[in-house]
Amino acid sequence: MKFLDLAKVYIRSGSGGNGCVSFRREKYIEYGGPDGGDGGKGGSVIAEAVEGLNTLIDFRYQQHFFAKNGRPGMGAQRTGAGGDDIILRVPVGTEILDEDQETILADLTEVGQTVLLAKGGNGGFGNLHFKTATNQAPGRANPGQPGVERTIWLRLKLIADAGLLGLPNAGKSTFLAATSNARPKIADYPFTTLHPNLGVVGVDGAEFVVADIPGLIEGASEGRGLGDQFLGHVERCAVLLHLVDGLNDDFVEEYKTIIGELEAYGGELAEKPRVTVLNKIDAMDEEERALRKAELEKAVGGPVLLMSGVSQEGTVDVLRAVRAEITEDRLRMKKAEEEPDTWQP
């Protein structure tokens, strides 16, 4: 299934039905009087976050959503039927933006959460509503209120606990495949990952969700490569796992490049807790590992972990470091009889 995380949608709520002007015309009733009913309410447009969706691809093929109009009132004090509501079913983590793509109308982060996007118009009053002691035969009725028409944007930000960062071919997809049941595409060329992948990993009896996004390059904030369009998927993460390719001679500059792109992206992303890992140590000897780790720690200004996604050396320590940065309320505990306490490579 194709991944789509941004969609433009046109919505319109239904107009209310017109009120009715009617008078009773019944045999043996001398003073019939007005009996025009009210118009029905127009249908509304509602967005709802549902389970089982992780893409906005449905909105690629249908962009227009128009609710039904209310029916007009009728004689014999009959109110017109209301128009049916339209519900936009979106994945959990969807932001709803106004047409300017900046004003946030809603942020649906929980299953079942709903938001009213366009309210249906009220039905007009029939002439029965205007009957008074001094106006026994009103000859007017109100028209129904018009519906609301607007353009909105849907932007999906995946719900994950930890996000993977790094340049293309830093080993992010290999790490995700080695520690979870996710099967992202892995190859020896850059930009193998073209859309985000999610994987559930477990360590010491706890599970959390890791998001793998396409690699960043220098100038991504200015649109180079795939740009920074996928960074929104790690905005909700509690911690960022930054993988650095230890086999690259410019690994320190690679680290600084990613940090620079995070700062250029803005928001709170650059301030999130980070776990920095020197990857691909399976191709290094002990001396080279120690030397490169020391160089990277100097640039980071903090501890650096060693790991190999291919040989799975050090992956448990990395998972434990990531788990330590995630609050307990976000973790899902596994039952001891179903899963081992500690994930083993």
As annotated, the binding site for GTP includes 166-173, 191-195, 212-215, 279-282, 308-310
Residue 168: closest CA among 181, 152, 155, 187: 187
Residue type (1 letter), 325: E
- Could you list the residues known to form a binding site, using ranges: 166-173, 191-195, 212-215, 279-282, 308-310
The residues with which 210 forms a beta bridge, in sequence order, are: 162, 199
Do 21 and 139 meet the contact criterion of CB atoms below 8 Å apart?
Answer: yes
Tokens linked to 97: 């933006």
Strand bridging mode 206-212 / 274-279: unpaired
Binding site feature residues for Mg(2+): 173, 193
Q: Name residues whose C-beta falls within 8 Å of residue 290's C-beta, 6 or more positions apart in sequence.
A: none
Name, in order, each residue with C-beta under 8 angstroms of 244's C-beta and a sequence gap of 6 or more: 166, 170, 251, 254, 255, 276, 277, 278, 279, 296
Taking Cα atoms as reference points, which of 276, 306, 267, 274 lies closest to residue 289? 306
Strand bridging mode 206-212 / 162-165: parallel
Closest C-alpha among 179, 163, 149, 207 to residue 11: 149
The pair of structure tokens assigned to 308 is 């190999």
Q: Measured between alpha carbons, how far is 59 from 311 in angstroms, rounded to an integer?
A: 41
